[in-house]
Structures are given as C-alpha cells and as structure tokens.
Structure 1
Amino acid sequence: MDNLVNLQKKIVPEMTDLLIERYRILRQVSNEQPIGRRALAGRLNLSERVLRSQVDFLKGCGLLSYSTAGMSVTEEGNEILQELAEYVRKLQGLSSLEQFLLERLSIKKVIIIPGDSDREQVVKREIGRAAAHTLVSLLEEDKGRVVAVSGGTTLAAAAQNIRGNFPDVVVVPARGGLGDTLELQANTIATVMARNLKASYRQLYVPDSVSQEILNSILAEDAGIRAVVNTIKHADILVHGIGRADVMARHRHLPQPLIDRLLQEGAVGEAVGQYSDIKGCQVYMTNNAGLMMHDLP
C-alpha cells in the first residue's frame, strides 16, 4: 500500500485532496445521519455549492442516499468508509508520524485520528472510539480490573462508544468534580462507561481542587469516601485526556494572577492536575482527592 500511496502523491497529487474531502463527507454523514446539506456544509466548513457537487457524485456512486430527513450513508458507503480509513491515514502520513512519536516518546502505541478536533466534533468522537477500542483490548488481555477515568469531551465520547461484558471490572473517577457540565464530569463518565461495559462503578463525591486541610478532614470523617479514594489510587488502568494549560486553568477556576503566572512560566498542557511546560516539566500542581501525578508508577 505504501508504494501505491507514494505513486499517487507523485503522479496525481490533486487526487489526494479530493479523496480526503470525500472521505470527510462520508464520515460526517455516517456520524450524524440523516443530515441536511446546509448543516453538513457548516460542519465541514464547505460552501453549499462545493458540497452539492461532491454529495451528488457520492450519491451517483451509490454511497449516499437522500430522503426528506436528509442524507444517509448506504451499506456500500459504510464498507467503502471502513476501507478508506487506513488509506487516508497513509495519504496523510499519519502512520509514519505514529511511528516517529512511538520512538521519540518511548511508548508502546500511538494512534492518530485524521482531522481537526477543534473544528469537527466527528473527529473527537473518532478519538473516543479509538480510546474505547484500545481500553477494551486491554481488558480482554486482562491488563487490569480497576479503571480510573477523567472527565472531558473526549472521555465522554469514549464512554458512549465503548461496549463489553466485564462484570469483574470496577470503573472509578480519577478525580473529583470539576464544575463542568454534568455529562463531562468524571463521575458521570465512569458511570456511563461501567454500564456499557457491564461493569461496576464507584463515585467520588468530593469537589476538585479542595485544600489539603479540607481533604484530610473529609477523609478522616467519611470511611466511604476514604475507601473510594483508596480504590482510585490503586487503579490498574488510567484513561485521561490532555488539555491546554490556559483552558484547563479556567475550567478549574484558578485565579487570573495564577493563570498569568503559569503561562509566563511556560505551562502549555495539563493532565491529572499537573501543568507542564513543553518539555514535560512540572510548572504547577493542583490538589485533589483522586489520582495525582506522583501516584502514577
């Protein structure tokens, strides 16, 4: 396949953009079907005129169907979509980039999803699906029985898309509440994921970023919360997102002077409460009742 991809790029490079555009259309329709043309154009940031010519072509090929409710992907279209996925990855050089990151970061596996997750919600859902598939594979390989999950849109997509039958697995929130939309909080995501895995779950009813003094008081007085925290800190698998430092700092309602200081000191990303610079060095750490970076092996 690599030779074919390289030949196409050299001889007919204009076909690459066209193929990727049609792939994006099929993928978007598949995720939101039935969908109208105007709504689809908005999702893909395409003019209706450009979109019309492409969907008419795909309909003529038998890959899309029209109805009064909107467009849908046909059975043949779904088959083509699945076959195209890996080819598009090759065209965009994602497999090579995955290998580069795997070696550079010294990790076992990297999966890159094509698209812009900030502009296309379908991409975030695809990331969620990939995360769900990876987690199920780990559970099937008996890599762990306690799964801790953080909050956020990507993890919400993973929870919604995951399926399995693991009655011996326990799903727990990695952290306390963040003040986000209820559907995006770790407690909610842990519950949804557990139900879709036919697993059990525990919830942590402690606000995020409480002071150590308050946290110690809660743990001393509430044996139930203490037991949940102990389970969380002994999780076998942690599923979490990585956010932009400035965005996550505002989500956590950090004071503006502190946010300004974090950015001045080079904080670019946040994960598990730790704000890090571009080299991965800690700039700041928020306190919480769940997992913290020093809890990880």
Structure 2
Amino acid sequence: MENIVRLHRRIAPELIATVEERYLILRQILYSQPVGRRALAALLVSGERVVRAQVDFLKTAGFVEFSPLGMTITPDGQDILEELADYIRLLHGLTSLEQELSSRLGLGQVVIIPGNSDVDSAVRKDLGRAAAGVLARYLGEPLTVAVSGGSTMARMAHAFTESSPQTLVVPARGALGEQVEYQANTVAAVLAGKLGGKYRLLNMPDAVSDQALAALLNSDANIRDVAEVVGRADILVYGVGQAERMAIRRGLSAEVITEVLQRGAVGEALGDYCTLAGEIVYSTASVGLRLNDLVGISQRIMIAGGAKKAAAIVAVANASGGGILVTDEAAARAIQVIINNHIK
C-alpha cells in the first residue's frame, strides 16, 4: 500500500484529491444517511454542484443508492470506505506519526484518525468508532471495563457493534454534573447494553468534600462495593480534558482554579490535574480511579481529539505512564510540535 501511495504521488497527484474527496463524501453519507444532496453539501461545506458530480459517480459505481428519503451507502460502499481509510492514513503519513508519538510519549500504541474533531463532526464519530474497535480487541472473556464520562466516550459506547455478554461495565468515577448522556454512569449502561453485558453504577456526585465522601462510604454499602469493583477493573477507557475547562465544569472555586493553573496544570483526567511534564498538582475528591491507580490496570485506552487538547493529552500521557492513545490527526500533529519544542 505504501508503494501505491508513493506511485500516486509521483505519477498522478491530481487523483489523490479526487480519492480523498470521495472518501469524505462516503464517510459523511454513512454518518448522515439518509441524506439529500443539499444537506450533504452543507455538511461538507462544499458546493452542491461539486457534490452532485461525485455522488453521481458513486451511485454508478454501486457505492451509494438514492431513494425519496435521500442517499444511503451500500454494502459495497461500506467495504470500499474501510479500504480507503487505510489508504488515507498512509497518504497523510499517520502510520509513521503513530510510531513516533508512541515512542516519544512512552505509550504502548497510538491510533490516529485522519481529520480534526474540533471542526468536523464526522471525525468525532470516527474517533468513537476507532476507540470501540481498539476496546473490542481485548474482550471475549469475563472482564471488568471501567469507563469515564464525556461526549467522546458516549460516541465510543454508541459505536460498539461487538457482543460480549460476559463483560461487566462500571463507571470509573462518580457522575459529573453535566448532560446525563455524557455521564460515566450513562456511558457504562449504554456500553453494557451494546455488549449484551452487565453494569453497575456509582450513584454519587463526582466532586464532593472529603467529609461528605467519608460519610457516603461509611453509610452506603453499595457504593463501597461498586468502588471495590471499579478498583479491580481489567480495562479502563477514559477521556482527557483541558485543565481550565474541566475545573469550571466540575464547579471548582475561582481561587482553586487560579491555583491549579498557576501550578502549571494543562490537562485533566479522572479528576486529576496535570502539568505538561505529568506532575499531578490537584485532585478532586471522589470515589473511583485516579491516574496513580492505572499501573494496576492491564489495558488503558485514552481517547481525545482536536488540536485544542494536544497539551492536555501530553500531560495525561506523561502522568498515566503508558497505555493506548486514540486521537485524531490535528491533535497528533499539535502533540508532535509540543514534544519537539518542550520535551527533550
């Protein structure tokens, strides 16, 4: 495949743009079907005439079909889309970038999806699908999977198509006060439903005072029991946030936020706030896993995309000490710049 890409660049570079354009159209149809031409052009931020010419070709080739409701992708279209994804990755040099970031950040593996999830909703969906594919590799026997909350985690859960009824899914921490569908409890329940497995919930706030936390643990045997199960998780799948944004979302006081940022925190995961070098400078009080607990978990999968999160990803990767990163191209290239400029 690498030789094919090299040949295309040398003898027919004009065809590369066409291939990539048709790939993006097929991918958008897959995620938006059934969809009309006008709506598709708007989603792609492209001219309707350009889109019409390409979808007419894709229809003739048997990759999409039309109906009164709009365009849908055919089984052949799904197959060619999967094959094109590998071609696009090589075209963008993502395979070598994955190896570089894996080595420089001390990670077991890096998986990079083409595009920028900051600006493209299809890339955000691709990120969820890719993470689901990585997690699926480790299922198949009785295991406990802990998951954090967040929009990317929610997409990962909804993207799952595998069956693993022997899997138990638990939230990695208590619920964050945000949209219900993005809370760790909801992600755990949705993922368990997709797998046909079981789940248990942590019915408590994500950030409470030390005194309230102690009282909850002393008075609620179920919380204690679930917390013990979470602590014995075999696999952790978790998201990453920007320190300031997450501190505001978690309702930290202005004084604490100022202190956390002054101490150099740029990233947050599992309630821990980290500097670029991976030093944890602040932690919220809650039941569940922390970054320091990850050494005891056999498989850890971090999911985050978008160039805005690059520094946060580097910080959490350095603090977590290994695992797998699933990210997008925009974040990966921004991470590469940070590594080259700040990490020797």
- TM-score, normalised by the number of residues in structure 2: 0.80
C-alpha distance in structure 2 between counterparts of 1:160 and 1:281, whole Å? 33
In structure 1, the residue matched to 2:266 is 268
Give the direction of change, closer, same or farther, for the CA distance of 1:120–1:225 in structure 2 (3 Å limit): same
Higher RCO (CA-CA < 8 Å; seq separation 6+): 2
Q: Which runs of 5+ in 1 are unaligned?
A: none
Q: Which amino acid aligns with 2:96?
A: S
Mean Cα displacement is larger for which, 259-268 or 190-199? Answer: 259-268
- The percentage of aligned residue pairs carrying the same residue is 48
In structure 1, the residue matched to 2:129 is 129
Match of 1:138, SS state, is coil
In structure 1, the residue matched to 2:276 is 278
State the Cα distance separating 1:62 from its structure 2 match.
3.0
In structure 2, the residue matched to 1:100 is 100
Aligned match for 2:220, one of 219, 222, 241:
222
State the Cα distance separating 1:18 from its structure 2 match.
2.6
State the Cα distance separating 1:260 from its structure 2 match.
4.1
C-alpha distance in structure 2 between counterparts of 1:250 and 1:45, whole Å? 33
In structure 1, the residue matched to 2:211 is 213
Q: Which runs of 5+ in 2 are unaligned?
A: 296-344
Q: Which amino acid aligns with 1:61?
A: A
Give the direction of change, closer, same or farther, for the CA distance of 1:166–1:59 in structure 2 (3 Å limit): closer
Spell out, residue by residue over 1:64-103, the C-alpha distance to the aligned partner (whole angstroms, 9 max, x if none): 2222211112333222112211111110111111111222
In structure 1, the residue matched to 2:147 is 149
More strand by share: 2
C-alpha distance in structure 2 between counterparts of 1:201 and 1:61, whole Å? 44
Give the direction of change, closer, same or farther, for the CA distance of 1:248–1:86 in structure 2 (3 Å limit): same
In structure 1, the residue matched to 2:201 is 203
State the Cα distance separating 1:116 from its structure 2 match.
1.5
- TM-score, normalised by the number of residues in structure 1: 0.91
In structure 1, the residue matched to 2:48 is 48
Match of 2:177, SS state, is coil
RMSD (CA atoms):
1.9
Match of 2:116, SS state, is coil
In structure 2, the residue matched to 1:5 is 5
Mean Cα displacement is larger for which, 56-65 or 113-122? Answer: 56-65
Match of 1:290, SS state, is coil
Give the direction of change, closer, same or farther, for the CA distance of 1:246–1:56 in structure 2 (3 Å limit): farther
Give the direction of change, closer, same or farther, for the CA distance of 1:262–1:56 in structure 2 (3 Å limit): farther
State the Cα distance separating 1:104 from its structure 2 match.
1.8
State the Cα distance separating 1:22 from its structure 2 match.
1.4
Match of 2:51, SS state, is helix
C-alpha distance in structure 1 between counterparts of 2:11 and 2:262, whole Å? 48
Q: Which contiguous aligned blocks of 4+ residues in structure 1 show a shift greater than 6 angstroms?
A: none
Give the direction of change, closer, same or farther, for the CA distance of 1:163–1:57 in structure 2 (3 Å limit): closer
C-alpha distance in structure 2 between counterparts of 1:245 and 1:72, whole Å? 40
In structure 2, the residue matched to 1:243 is 241
In structure 2, the residue matched to 1:234 is 232
User: How many residue pairs end up in the alignment?
Assistant: 295
Match of 1:110, SS state, is strand
